[in-house]
Amino acid sequence: MTSHILLINCPDERGLVYKITGVLVKHALNIVSNGEFVEREFNHFFMRTEFSGDFEQQNLLQDLQEVLPAAAEIRLTNKKKKDIVILVTKEHHCLGDLLIRHAFQELNARILAVISNHDVLADLTKKFDVPFHYISHEGKSREAHEAEVMQAIQAYTPDFVVLAKYMRILSPEFVAPYANRLINIHHSFLPAFVGANPYAQAYERGVKIIGATAHFVNEQLDQGPIIAQNVIPVDHTQSAKEMAQAGRDVEKIVLAKSLKMVFDEQVFVYRNKTILFN
Amino acid sequence: MTSHILLINCPDERGLVYKITGVLVKHALNIVSNGEFVEREFNHFFMRTEFSGDFEQQNLLQDLQEVLPAAAEIRLTNKKKKDIVILVTKEHHCLGDLLIRHAFQELNARILAVISNHDVLADLTKKFDVPFHYISHEGKSREAHEAEVMQAIQAYTPDFVVLAKYMRILSPEFVAPYANRLINIHHSFLPAFVGANPYAQAYERGVKIIGATAHFVNEQLDQGPIIAQNVIPVDHTQSAKEMAQAGRDVEKIVLAKSLKMVFDEQVFVYRNKTILFN
Amino acid sequence: MTSHILLINCPDERGLVYKITGVLVKHALNIVSNGEFVEREFNHFFMRTEFSGDFEQQNLLQDLQEVLPAAAEIRLTNKKKKDIVILVTKEHHCLGDLLIRHAFQELNARILAVISNHDVLADLTKKFDVPFHYISHEGKSREAHEAEVMQAIQAYTPDFVVLAKYMRILSPEFVAPYANRLINIHHSFLPAFVGANPYAQAYERGVKIIGATAHFVNEQLDQGPIIAQNVIPVDHTQSAKEMAQAGRDVEKIVLAKSLKMVFDEQVFVYRNKTILFN
Amino acid sequence: MTSHILLINCPDERGLVYKITGVLVKHALNIVSNGEFVEREFNHFFMRTEFSGDFEQQNLLQDLQEVLPAAAEIRLTNKKKKDIVILVTKEHHCLGDLLIRHAFQELNARILAVISNHDVLADLTKKFDVPFHYISHEGKSREAHEAEVMQAIQAYTPDFVVLAKYMRILSPEFVAPYANRLINIHHSFLPAFVGANPYAQAYERGVKIIGATAHFVNEQLDQGPIIAQNVIPVDHTQSAKEMAQAGRDVEKIVLAKSLKMVFDEQVFVYRNKTILFN
């Protein structure tokens, strides 16, 4: 029995839940789970409903539009596997974790390809029968390299692009077409330690916790909507390198957790923040 | 503007959210927040709605009863302060934390009295102008002592009784009248280390985490519905006594957190578990 | 039996532990616990030894100086209670927590006085028989107000000054005399959200964790050596105000934990970092 | 430059650190890091020293024996890779994590073989060029099956055997030869939920945290010395199956962390507890 997911957001007004559930009742659909949230700063309404049953999509959407404000965004989707392309540089831990989950049907996604500016992770990727594209940046302008990478991605028309420790800064031109579809794992608890080498920054500052942040990428470096974060304690005995080693486990778990929520359609993006339903 | 809270639970069936929100719309009430949950093992429906607006209580309840299954439990309440009595023995940390919160209006409760089988905490309690009843258990049977304590509690007709490190086991007769209204903090992550001296047990077993559990009390020792739990890391350098010291901060925070949820009407109890809305 | 604490730091060289423990053996002292650490970036040696036994202080220090490099810092101290003065503004949670610990001998300090630029916390402080000085900043220059506060502090000649949510920025002149003796609790996981209103910043950024940082104060705002940090999860349902409420428990626990380590002589400060022995 | 590790434990007495470091100084060895601990219940001394330099092993050990109590256990080892055999049943997450770490030299061990009573994980293992032995238990007595497994293990003469979600209870005869060399990951925060199906037990009990425990295996089920534990929050919305899914990430990280400590010679076992040096 397929589970359908209805995602609605619009300016808040009285009676929205009643109206929306009324449409579902009219179509004789069974609600599996239901979540609502009203953002109080801008008075914006969000609702996520999982339901089952047979329905005529065009009719259902039309009935919803009739009861909802004109500005409402209505999305009818499901939990079917998303198509993704993964970008990496040299570090194996996030990619390895995703490949294992993928191999055992835990990721709710099809990894169509892995693309890297180094060939270090080619062997690992191929073990799992996933195509690996080595696109070196050596001797190329940033623009030229990006254009190559973008072309390689586009050949797969993925739903999402995952930066699983891709160590190059992306231009706004690269990012724009993938609004809310480009997910990065940053190796710090943002907004601390933006940019390069956060573990060295953390060591230098003498912090007692380090962390990782999964976020959607926008045009500003490490400024996009945060999906998930976690931290682990560190102490004075750890060098920057040892912090980086310890941080790997946080990075891979935070990335996988954020991908699960995105691929299961649990995430709204609203004004540079995420709203998460579980 | 007062916020009202509607708590409904009943066997699940199609259209419940639609029916309930329909009644609220009919009475021209504004939903502030809304949460639903369907327990899948027994197919039971839970809904918590905060709303504002003027209404005639009898009419509203009657309208709800008409659309809901006969077995539905419907409770109309609000976030007004609860009346509580606190039982303690000798340890000050949970009581101290509650008295401070109480003094600064953070507890959403009125502490009517503190009752203890020792007089160690009399001074602390009186600093905050709260009545303190010292009811020693010395030279009394358990039954006689319990009867005295119970009488002292009943004089205040509290909404809830809080065991803030009350180190005596309560009889089923004591517990029965306070079903879902008697809250205990136990100094372990239950179900580990039931009963006396959990920190000594934890030390003996060599665990690497210790914790605390706030739960409703039922007739079986440390077996009631769990409201909140948390843990902290420990290591081999800590004695049982040092673990107990470190654990105090977890105990007091977990207790306060659970009380906030209970007093704010966020907690359903269902078949020895809690369902928490936030 | 008094426990003495020997704190040594110096450039690392071969045989330091042997030489130091040799002096202790010579004086027939019993080592209770011993910790060493060599900072590898600058090759600096740290050692903290708790020991018991009778000794002639001048002889012991002289024997240590003879075996140690000339640059060695040697400090002989103990766990006796430190004298402290606490500065607050309007928030009660950190002060309340410290007063309770103080009243029950958990703080390893004597709170000599509480000083505030508001009178909100006068009643709370006086409940615990601690002098409260209300020094309003109204109608005074920052310099004039600081001078008054400093004078009030100096009258107590405290070992440490604790900023338990003191919401005014201190001048370098104020800070300088209290190098490594002035401890602040900042309501974010530094270096994120330096400066004013970190919870509003956290809300605005949409982070999924918030935290608190206890640190020694130096001349640069929120840049001093970090002693302890912790975090809690937050989500999109929480307003900035609710994050601030949730954060209070982290703040008070982190502050108390850091004070315990400092007052128990477990903390070395070295080049804007702390080295913690337990 | 090889780093050597000296592990000593013996009844405590005055001057042990002085005597031991004296021997190291005599042999002109450089201490890289040093940790001591005195267990106070039984007054037992533990010391772990990493050092570098050239030495004649027999001489060094003899010199140490001369200065130490007769009952002292002295072990001279290093951080070189350990040989391990991994036992699994059907779950892939711990094995997958270890194989990835192994492939990228993060495990400080050589995985000589994987043995399973099912063939589900054969493909995964072979991807990483590690021998996989499928030894079905079908139609065999427990004794016969264990004997086969034991024979398969012994053929590799491993330093350690890792139970990475091996779902069969081992007999004391199996366990005995691997005292302190057999490591299991249990899917609960022990001592809660010993035995089969801890996630179902956790769901049934309605706990708000679940966890995992890595421990040495002894003759009593889930009673051996605990090496590492961690937990994650859960709530009423999660089924036992969803708790199990969420718990996988804790299990694999806790197992990997405990193995790193064991293989890096950071772990003493003493009277059913572990003492961990970092």
- Encoded amino acid at C82, one letter: K
Which pairs from B169-173 meet CB under 8 Å and 24+ separation? B169/B221, B170/B146, B170/B217, B171/B142, B171/B143, B171/B146, B172/B219, B173/B146
Strands B82-88 and B160-163: parallel
If you count residue pairs, one on A and one on D, with CB atoms under 8 Å apart, how many are there? Answer: 38
Using the predicted structure, report yes or no on whether residue C1 has a pLDDT greater than 80: no
Q: What is the largest CA-CA distance in chain A?
A: 64
Cβ-contact A137, A117 below 8 angstroms: yes
B15: nearest CA partner in chain A: A25
pLDDT in tens, D209-252: 999 999 999 988 899 999 999 999 999 999 999 999 999 999 99
Nearest to C30 among D14, D24, D35 (CB): D14
Any idea how long chain A is? 278
Q: In sequence order, which residues have a C-beta less than 8 Å from that of residue C208 and are 6 or more positions away?
A: A226, A227, A228, A229, C233, C234, C235
pLDDT at A1: 59
Interface test with D, best of B218, B236, B242, B254 (most D CBs within 10 A): B236
Nearest to A228 among C37, C41, C208 (CB): C208
SS3 sequence, B170-192? CCHHHHHHHCCCEEEEECCCCCC
Fold (CATH) for A82-276: Rossmann fold (3.40.50)
DSSP letter at D170 equals: P
pLDDT in tens, A246-275: 999 999 999 999 999 999 999 999 999 999
Show the tokens assigned to C155. 């009258």
**Residues of B classed as catalytic:** 222
Taking Cα atoms as reference points, which of B29, B26, B36, B71 lies closest to residue B51?
B29
**Mean pLDDT to the nearest integer, A176-190:** 96
User: Is D276 strand, coil or helix?
Assistant: strand
Interface test with B, best of A14, A16, A17 (most B CBs within 10 A): A17
Q: Do B40 and D239 count as a contact with CB atoms less than 8 A apart? A: yes
- Domains of chain A, residue spans: 4-78, 82-276
**Mean pLDDT to the nearest integer, C148-176:** 97
pLDDT at D88: 98
Residues of D with CB under 8 A from a CB of B: 37, 39-41, 189-193, 205-209, 211, 225-231, 235-237, 239, 272-276
Give the relative orientation of helices B57-67 and B16-26 as an angle to the nearest 10 degrees.
150
Using the predicted structure, report yes or no on whether residue D60 has a pLDDT greater than 90: yes
Q: Do D14 and C25 count as a contact with CB atoms less than 8 A apart? A: yes
Among C97, C123, C159, C222, the one annotated catalytic: C222
DSSP letter at C21 equals: H
Q: Do A128 and D128 count as a contact with CB atoms less than 8 A apart? A: no
Cβ-contact D229, D211 below 8 angstroms: yes
Q: Do A206 and C190 count as a contact with CB atoms less than 8 A apart? A: no
pLDDT at D1: 59
Q: Do D36 and C34 count as a contact with CB atoms less than 8 A apart? A: yes
What's the gap in Å between the CA of C41 and the closest CA on chain A? 9
Query: How many other C-beta atoms lie within 10 A of the C-beta of residue D236?
Result: 17
Interface test with B, best of C50, C91, C94, C127 (most B CBs within 10 A): C127
Nearest to D191 among B192, B208, B227 (CB): B192
Q: Do D206 and B226 count as a contact with CB atoms less than 8 A apart? A: yes
Query: How many other C-beta atoms lie within 10 A of the C-beta of residue B122?
Result: 14
Show the tokens assigned to B90. 């000798």
First and final CA of chain A: distance in angstroms?
A: 20
Among A222, A235, A249, A264, the one annotated catalytic: A222
Q: In sequence order, which residues have a C-beta less than 8 Å from that of residue C218 and are 6 or more positions away?
A: C175, C179, C224, C225, C272
pLDDT in tens, C80-139: 999 999 999 999 999 999 999 999 999 999 999 999 999 999 999 999 999 999 999 999
pLDDT at A278: 84
Using the predicted structure, report yes or no on whether residue D162 has a pLDDT greater than 90: yes
Interface test with B, best of A16, A18, A276, A277 (most B CBs within 10 A): A18
**Mean pLDDT to the nearest integer, D245-271:** 97
Question: A106 φ, ψ to 5°?
Answer: -100, -5
Q: What residues of B are in contact with residue D274 (Cβ under 8 Å)?
A: 206, 236
Query: How many other C-beta atoms lie within 10 A of the C-beta of residue A221?
Result: 14
Nearest to A21 among B18, B31, B38 (CB): B18
Q: In sequence order, which residues have a C-beta less than 8 Å from that of residue D46 and are 6 or more positions away?
A: D8, D9, D36, D37, D38, D39, D268, D270, D275, D277
C25: nearest CA partner in chain D: D15
Q: CA distances (Å), D170 to each of B150, C24, D183, D254, in order?
A: 51, 50, 12, 21
- Cα–Cα dist A132/B248, whole Å: 53
CATH number for B4-78 (one of 3.40.1160.10, 3.40.50.280, 3.30.70.260, 3.20.20.150): it is 3.30.70.260
If you count residue pairs, one on A and one on C, with CB atoms under 8 Å apart, how many are there? Answer: 77
- Cα–Cα dist D99/D127, whole Å: 9
DSSP letter at B16 equals: H
Chains near A with 3+ CB pairs less than 8 A apart are B, C, D
Cβ-contact C131, C155 below 8 angstroms: no
Among D12, D123, D222, D264, the one annotated catalytic: D222
Which residues are bridge partners to C273 per DSSP? C270
Nearest to A103 among D106, D124, D253 (CB): D124
Show the tokens assigned to A83. 């198509």
Average pLDDT of every residue of chain C = 96
**Mean pLDDT to the nearest integer, A83-95:** 98
C90: nearest CA partner in chain B: B104
Nearest to A209 among C40, C227, C229 (CB): C229
Interface test with A, best of C236, C237, C257 (most A CBs within 10 A): C236
Q: What residues of C are in contact with residue A216 (Cβ under 8 Å)?
A: none
| CA-based torsion, C165, C167, C171, C174: positive or negative | negative
Show the tokens assigned to D267. 């772990």
Show the tokens assigned to C84. 């402290």
Cβ-contact A109, A259 below 8 angstroms: yes
pLDDT at C221: 86
Q: Do A209 and C231 count as a contact with CB atoms less than 8 A apart? A: yes
What beta strand segments (E) does A170-208 contain?
182-186
Residues of B with CB under 8 A from a CB of D: 37, 39-41, 189-193, 205-209, 211, 225-231, 235-237, 239, 272-276
Average pLDDT of every residue of chain D = 96
Taking Cα atoms as reference points, which of A40, A49, A118 lies closest to residue A78?
A49
State the residue for tokens 């690992």.
A124
pLDDT at B237: 96
**Mean pLDDT to the nearest integer, C3-7:** 95
Instruction: ipTM value, please give it.
Output: 0.96
Q: Do C18 and D33 count as a contact with CB atoms less than 8 A apart? A: no
Q: What residues of D are in contact with residue B225 (Cβ under 8 Å)?
A: 206
Strands A109-116 and A82-88: parallel
Give residue C73's Cα distance to chain centre: 20
Which residues are bridge partners to D31 per DSSP? D51
CA torsion B176-B178-B181-B183 (nearest 10°) is -70
pLDDT in tens, D128-152: 999 999 999 999 999 999 999 999 9
Using the predicted structure, report yes or no on whether residue C2 has a pLDDT greater than 80: no
pLDDT in tens, C80-90: 999 999 999 99
pLDDT at B1: 59
What is the share, in percent, of chain C residues with pLDDT greater than 70? 100
For chain B, residues with pLDDT lower than 50 are: none
State the residue for tokens 């601390």.
A192
User: Is A114 strand, coil or helix?
Assistant: strand
Residue A222 annotated as catalytic: yes
Nearest to C276 among A207, A209, A236 (CB): A236
pLDDT at D117: 98
Q: What residues of C are in contact with residue A211 (Cβ under 8 Å)?
A: 209
Cis bond before residue C191 (omega within 30° of 0): yes
